[in-house]
Amino acid sequence: MLSYRHAFHAGNHADVIKHLILLQIAQYMGDKPAPFWIIDTHAGAGCYALESAHATKLAEFRDGVGRLWDAKGLPPATADYVDFVRMLNPDGQLRHYPGSPWLASQLLRDGDRLRLYELHSTDVKLLEGCFKSAGRQVMVTAGDGFAGLKAILPPPPRRALVLIDPSYETRDDYANVIKGLQEAMKRFPTGTYALWYPMLSKPESRKLPEKLKGLGAKDWLHATLEVSAPAKDGYGMHGSGMFIINPPWTLEKTLHENLPVITRLLAQNDGAKYKIESQTS
């Protein structure tokens, strides 16, 4: 039975790096005239009310997007990300936060498509409500996103961004992302894959980056954002990472311009830091 709900964590530091990168990749793909798809394997509810009981229970957004909300002198890509969040908050008060599906939908052109997968029954209904007027351009499927990739790849336009960010509630999630990426890359080797993962003390989390590097992709980019040093008791998420296979050539430079500022603004103690590493063919 699924218990994870992203509403508890909407707008936190992990969302900041994940959604900044999502926007940069989607905007890059949209710069070329050929159509593309965005496929989100763990889509969540689509958008979130930050004043809801779920969001206020932990209020993680206050130390995430909340710290960027009124910040001055943000680098262009970070300012662009905040502007997208402002689209859901036209009165200037941070009350709503867009999930990956909503952000992706804002960058679709007429020929582009968004394919969303979600297992949690409550979130599926919310997701469907979020896109009830979207027509054929957005398709919501109640089901396993990894299974969905087997059926949907390669997409008809042969251009796609696949976003993968499971909850990592169980040890199987770590194995599933490796297996899912291996199978997806066989079906669609030229696709862009963006995988999010939490930085935790557990060995499955610490070993995941090296396993991702071992998948055999010729071109990859790995970026991490740590907002604090790991807790001495080993509890909690002190940061998160994004591993991108076949990234846009512009993305690494953009992250070098933005992550130092984001790290400084989101730092919770002296252990805050970021890392960017890459491989190109």
- pLDDT of 4 reads 47
In DSSP terms, which residues pair with 242 in a beta bridge? 196, 223
What's the rounded mean pLDDT across residues 124-128? Answer: 94
pLDDT digits (tens, 9 = 90+) for 31-54: 999 999 999 999 999 999 998 766
Percent of the chain surpassing pLDDT 90: 87
Q: How far apart are the first and last CA of the chain?
A: 42
Domain boundaries, the chain: 6-279
- pLDDT of 5 reads 58
DSSP string of 178-222, one letter each residue: HHHHHHHHHH-TTSEEEEEEEE-SSHHHHHHHHHHHTT--SSEEE
Show the tokens assigned to 43: 């889509």
For residue 262, give the nearest of 274, 246, 250 by alpha carbon.
274
d(C-alpha 48, C-alpha 52), whole Å: 8
The order of strands in the sheet holding 273-279 is: 138-142, 113-118, 37-40, 160-164, 192-199, 239-245, 220-226, 273-279
Half-sphere exposure of 246 (CA within 13 A, CB side): 15
- pLDDT of 55 reads 57
CATH classification (class only), 6-279: alpha beta
More confident of the two residues 71 and 5: 71
> Of the residues 40, 112, 123, 165, which is catalytic?
165
- pLDDT of 57 reads 64
pLDDT digits (tens, 9 = 90+) for 173-222: 999 999 999 999 999 999 999 999 999 999 999 999 999 999 999 999 99
Scored b (16 or more CB within 10 A) or e, 104-142 reads bbebbeeebbbbbbbbbeebbebbbebbeeeeeebebbe
Task: Reply yes or no on whether the pLDDT at 235 is more than 90.
Answer: no
- pLDDT of 155 reads 97
d(C-alpha 226, C-alpha 271), whole Å: 8
- pLDDT of 53 reads 64
Distant-in-sequence, close-in-space partners of 40: CB < 8 Å, separation ≥ 6 = 100, 101, 104, 114, 115, 116, 117, 145, 163
What's the rounded mean pLDDT across residues 122-140? Answer: 92
Of the ranges 1-5, 98-102, 199-203, 255-259, which one carries the lowest mean pLDDT score? 1-5
Residue 165 annotated among the catalytic residues of the structure:
yes
Show the tokens assigned to 211: 């396993």
